[in-house]
Structure 1
Amino acid sequence: MSTTVELVEHAPAVSHALPDAVGRALAAGRIVDASHDPYAPGRWLLRAGSKVGAVTITAPGADEAVTVRITPKVPVARLFFLLGYSLDARGGWLEGQVDVAQHRDLLPALAHAVERQIDRALRQGLLQGYRPTEETSLVVRGRIREADQIRRHFGAMLPVEVTYDEFTTDIAENRLLRAAIERLLRLPGVPRDVRRRLIHQRTRLADVTPLTRGHPLPNWHPSRLNARYHQALHLARAVLDNASAEHAPGGLRIDGFLFDMNKLFEDFVTAALQEALRGTSLTGRLQDPHHLDEAAAIRMKPDFVLYGPQLTPLAVADAKYKAEKRAGFPDADLYQMLAYCTALGLPEGHLIYAKGNAPHAAHRVRHAGIVIHQHALDLDQAPAGLLGDITAVCQRMRECLTV
C-alpha cells in the first residue's frame, strides 16, 4: 500500500495525514518544510521549497510507503533546458534530441531522457579504453611491482605482482552509465515502458562492474574518443549527484531524486554568462573565493566575477532563484551585493533573479556611489529569448568597464 502526497514548489502549505515518523523524517531531511498541524491531530502541514522531484519513505518490513512528489513551477521542458545548458552550454544537447514533453512529471521525464541519451551513446557499441590494473600473475605482464613482490612473496620468483593497462569496456564512462541506470530503476514513479528500456540498456552494460555504494564516483575526461558519450555522461552525472538515499531516524529509508532549483538556476545563469563572454578578452570565474575584511578572516564566494586581461575584478553578479514575493526582492540580497562590491572595489553589482512580481531596479547606495542592479529573467519564455536576456545582462555588466 502506498500513499502519495502531491506538492508544488514554493506553494502555500497544505495539511496531510501522515505518520509522525514520516513527518519528522521529511523535516529532518529538509525535503520540505514540515510541522504538526495545530488544528488537526495526526496531520502535518507540508510546504515545498526549492527542491523538486520525488522521494519515497518506507519503514523496514512495512508494506506501506509514503511518496512525496514536488512539481516545479516552470514547465518540465524548460527545466530540462536549464539543466542541459548548465551542463553543456555549447552542446545544446537536449534540444531536438530528447522529447520530454510527453512526460508531465520530472522523474519520468528524467528517466526517459537518460535512457534515450544512453541508447544514442551505445549504438556504435560500448566504448573501450585503457584501465590501470594490478594483479598477481604467473606470467610477467606490464611492470613488476617490486615493493609488493618483496613484501608478499619474500623474494620468490612466482607468482608475480604486476601492473599494466588493460584495454577493456570496464571503464569509468561505462560504469557511470550503468550506475545511473541502476539508480533510476530503484526510484519510484518511472513509467513501465521507460523502465523496460532502461533494463535493456543495463543488459548492454552487463559486463561493466557496478559502482560500490558510498564510494566516490569515477572521474572521466572529455576527449575526441568519448565524444559520443558526452551528453549521456553529463545527464548520468546529474542523476547520481542529485539522488537522495539515506536512512532516517527510526530505521526509515528515504529513497528518491530531488533537484534544488536554487542550484540549477545558479548553474544556468553562470554558464550562460560565461558563454556570453566567449570571443572577448574578458573571463568569468564561478564561486571565486575572496575575503571581505583586511585580516582575511571572512570569506565570500560570489557566483560570478568578471575579470579583465590582467585578472583585475571588473564586475560581480549573484544568481537568486526566489519565490514570488509581494514586496519585491529581498533586502538581504542588496546588503550581500554591497559587501561584494565594497570588498572588490567595484562601482556596480548585479543580482539576477528568476522573474517574480518585482520589475528590474537599480539602487545607488548613499555615500558610496555603488549602483546595485536587480535583473529579472522570465523562465517561461522560449530558450532563445531567455539566452538573449542573459546576453543583455552581460552587456550591461560590460558597459561600465574601462578595460
Structure 2
Amino acid sequence: MTDTAVIELVEHAPAIGRPLPDAVGRALAASRIVDAAPDPYTAGQWVLRAGSKVGAVTLNVPDCAPVTVRIVPKVPIARLFFLLGYSLDSRGWRDEQVEVAEHRDLLPALAQAAERQIDRALRQGLLQGYRDAEETSLVVRGRIREAEQIRRHFGATLPVEIAYDEFTTDIPENRILRATVERLLRLPGVARDVRRRLLHQRARLADITPLVPGQALPEWHPTRLNSRYHQALHLARVVLTDSSPEHAAGALRIDGFLFNMNKLFEDFVTTALCEAYRGTDHSCRLQDPHHLDEARTIRMKPDFVLYGPDRCPHAVVDAKYKKEKPDGYPDADLYQMLAYCTALGLPEGHLVYAKGNAPHTAHQVRHAGTIIHQHALDLDQAPDGLLGEIRSLAHVIAADPPV
C-alpha cells in the first residue's frame, strides 16, 4: 500500500512551502481547498495557505502518492461543535451530547460524535413509519391505480396495479442515517475503534435502501415519534451537505470533509440573535431579500434584519467571520453595510466579526451620517459567556433608534 503524505495547515495562518509533485499542486489549486501556487524560488515546491475551510481531504492523483491535507481550526474543536450544534438546534442542543474535547483534529471528532448520536438513536431499535408504496400484485390491498391498470394491462383483472401505505423501517430517517454511516467510513483519519463501531451501525441499517449519490436528501419532519433521532439527523445533515468534497474529476478523486467557518459563524450569530429576541415584540428575518435600486434590479440579502412592532426594519446585521482581505476590494464589508442601511432607510448598521479578525469600533459616514458598528465576538470562551455576549449585542442592536 502506498503511504499517504500528510500536510497540516492552520486556518488563516501564514503560507508555508511544501514539496509536491506538480500534478498534486495543480489539483490542489484547482480544487480551491487551499490557496496553492508554485514557489517561484524553489523548484518542486508549492506555497500553500489555508483560508476559512477546516477539516481534511485526501487527493488521489494518478501516478502520485495520495496526499492528505489537514486544516486545523483556530478555535478549539469543542467550541466549534458548540457553534455547529447551537446553529442546528438552539433549544435542543446540549454541549455534553457531543464529547469531543479530547480531539484536536476535526474529522475524528466529527466521526465519533456522529457515531455516538446514531448509536443513541438506534439503541431502541430502528424507527418504523409509513411510506407510500406502489406495486403490481395478484392480491388487492390499499387502492387500485386505475389509470396504470388500464395502461399496463388493458383492462385485464389480474395482475393488479395497487398503491398502499406500508409500515416499514425503510423510511427517510433511517435512509439518511445509513448514508451518513457510509460517508463517515470513507473519510480519512477516522480512528480504528470508531470505524469498527460505524461498521456495526451499518450492519444495523443493512436492510435500508441506500441513497442515490447526487440526489437530494429525503425530507423528514421532527415529531414526538422520531424525537430520539433528532440529534443524529442534525449531525447527519452536516456530514452529507455539499461541504463534503467527495467527487471524481476525470482521473482525480478527492475524499474528505470541510467546514466553512464563514458559514458556520454566520449561522451561529444569526441563530443566537433570533433566540435573544424570542418572546419580545421584535421579529427576525434571515437572508431577508431586498433591492438596492428603485427599479428592483440589484438584489441584496442581509444576513439578519430585525423588524420592530410596526413591522418596519429596525436594524440590520451582517456576520463576517474574517474581515475582507486587504488585497481585495478595500473595506468591502463597510461598503456592503452602507448599501444595506441606505436601501432599508436605517441610520445604523452592524457588522459582527470573530474577535481578532477586526477591531471593535464604529464609523460615521461623511455627508450621510450613517454609523456602521464593527463588533468583535470572542469565540474563545465558554458557551454561557458566548451566548451572554450575544444577548448583550442584541440589546445594543435593538436600542438603535429607527428613523
User: TM-score band (shorter)?
Assistant: over 0.9
User: Which residue is equivalent to 2:266?
Assistant: 266
Residue in 2 aligned with 1:78? 79
The aligned counterpart of 2:164 is: 164
CA distance in 1, matches of 2:110, 2:358: 32
Task: Name the CA distance, whole Å, in 2 between partners of 1:199 and 1:152.
Answer: 43
Look up the SS of the partner of 1:244 in the other structure: coil
Matched, 1:380 2:380: yes
Question: Once the 2 structures are TM-superposed, how far is the Cα of residue 214 of structure 1 from its aligned partner?
Answer: 1.2
Q: CA deviation at 1:102?
A: 1.6
User: Equivalents in 2 of 1:239, 1:65: separation in Å?
Assistant: 23
Match of 1:308, as an amino acid?
G
Q: Distance in 1 between matches of 2:77 and 2:330?
A: 27
Letter in 2 for 1:248: A
Q: Give the residue type in structure 2 aligned to 1:345.
A: G
TM-score between both structures, scaled by the size of structure 1: 0.95
Deviation at 1:115, TM superposition (A): 0.6
How far apart in 1 are the matches of 2:19 and 2:143?
Answer: 64
Cα deviations by residue, 1:268-326 (Å, 9 ceiling, x for unpaired): 00000000011112111111111000000100000001112343111100000116989
How far did residue 369 of structure 1 move?
2.1
Q: Please give the TM-score of this superposition, normalised by the length of structure 2.
A: 0.95
Per the alignment, residue 39 of structure 2 pairs with 37
Report which stretch shifted further, 100-109 or 358-367: 358-367
Letter in 2 for 1:6: E
- 1:17 matched residue in structure 2: 19
- Which SS does the other structure have where 2:246 is aligned? strand
Distance 2:307 2:145 in 1: 48
Match of 1:52 in 2: 54
Residue 259 of structure 1 aligns to a residue in which SS? strand
Alignment of 1:130-209 (within 5 A): 130-209=130-209
Contact 2:117 2:232 in 1 (8 A): yes
1:73-113 Cα offsets, whole Å, 9 max, x none, are: 111111001000010111123x1122101211000000000
1-structure distance, mates of 2:240, 2:14: 30
Which amino acid in 2 is paired with 1:40? T
CA distance in 2, matches of 1:148, 1:357: 62
Structure 1: give runs of 5+ residues left out of the alignment: none
User: Contact conserved, 1:54 with 1:188, CA < 8 A, in 2?
Assistant: yes
Q: Is the alpha carbon distance of 1:323 and 1:41 closer, same or farther for their aligned partners in structure 2, counting shifts above 3 Å?
A: farther
Distance 2:324 2:290 in 1: 31
Distance between the aligned counterparts of 2:253 and 2:359, measured in 1? 43
Tell me, in whole angstroms, the C-alpha distance in 2 between the residues paired with 1:200 and 1:177.
Answer: 13
Name the aligned partner's letter for residue 207 of structure 1.
Answer: D
The CA distance in 1 between the partners of 2:324 and 2:92, in whole Å, is 32
Task: Give 1:188 shift.
Answer: 0.7
Counterpart of 2:395?
395
Q: Is the 8 A contact 1:323 1:356 kept in 2?
A: no
Q: Number of matched residues?
A: 399
Deviations 1:238-296 (A, max 9, x none): 000132111235x1101110000000000000000000011112111111111000000
* 1:1-400 matched pairs, under 5 angstroms: 1-59=3-61, 64-93=65-94, 95-241=95-241, 242-249=243-250, 251-322=251-322, 331-356=331-356, 358-400=358-400
Task: State whether residues 324 and 332 of structure 2, in contact with CA within 8 Å, keep that contact through their aligned partners in structure 1.
Answer: no
Distance 1:357 1:145 in 2: 62
Take 2:15 and 2:302, find their aligned partners in 1: how far apart are those partners? 32
Q: Structure 2: where are the runs of 5+ without partners?
A: none
Seen in structure 2, the aligned counterparts of structure 1 residues 401 and 163 have a Cα distance that, compared at 3 Å, is farther
Q: Give 3-state SS (helix, strand or coil) of 1:243's partner.
A: coil
Cα–Cα, structure 1 residues 153 and 324, in superposed 2: closer, same or farther, change >3 Å?
A: closer
Equivalent AA in structure 2 for residue 20 of structure 1? D
Provide the rounded CA distance (Å) in 2 between the counterparts of 1:326 and 1:23. Answer: 25
Indicate conservation of the 8 Å contact 1:10/1:323, yes or no: no
CA distance 1:268–1:46, change in 2 (3 Å): same
CA distance in 1, matches of 2:192, 2:216: 30
Cα distance 1:73–1:23, how it changes in 2: closer, same or farther (>3 A)? same
* Other structure's SS at 2:263 match: helix
1:73 & 1:85 partners in 2: Cα distance? 19
**Secondary structure at 2:245 match in 1:** strand
- Supply the distance in 2 between the matched residues of 1:40 and 1:319 (Cα, whole angstroms): 39
CA–CA distance in structure 2, aligned partners of residues 398 and 345 of structure 1: 16
Distance 2:316 2:267 in 1: 15
Report the secondary structure of 1:96's partner residue.
helix
Separation (CA, whole Å) in 1 of partners of 2:214 and 2:359: 45
CA distance in 1, matches of 2:222, 2:152: 38
The offset of 1:402, in angstroms, is 6.0
- Structure 1 residues 166 and 357, CA gap change in structure 2 (3 angstroms): closer
2:304 aligned partner, one-letter code: F
Give the secondary structure class of the aligned counterpart of 2:297. coil
**CA–CA distance in 1 between the matches of 2:309 and 2:224?**
30
Task: Calculate the aligned-residue CA RMSD, in Å.
Answer: 1.8
AA in 2 matched with 1:181: V
The verdict on how the C-alpha distance between 1:237 and 1:284 changes in structure 2, with shifts beyond 3 A counting, is: same
* Structure 1: distance between partners of 2:123 and 2:187: 26
Instruction: Tell me the SS of whatever aligns to 2:117.
Output: helix
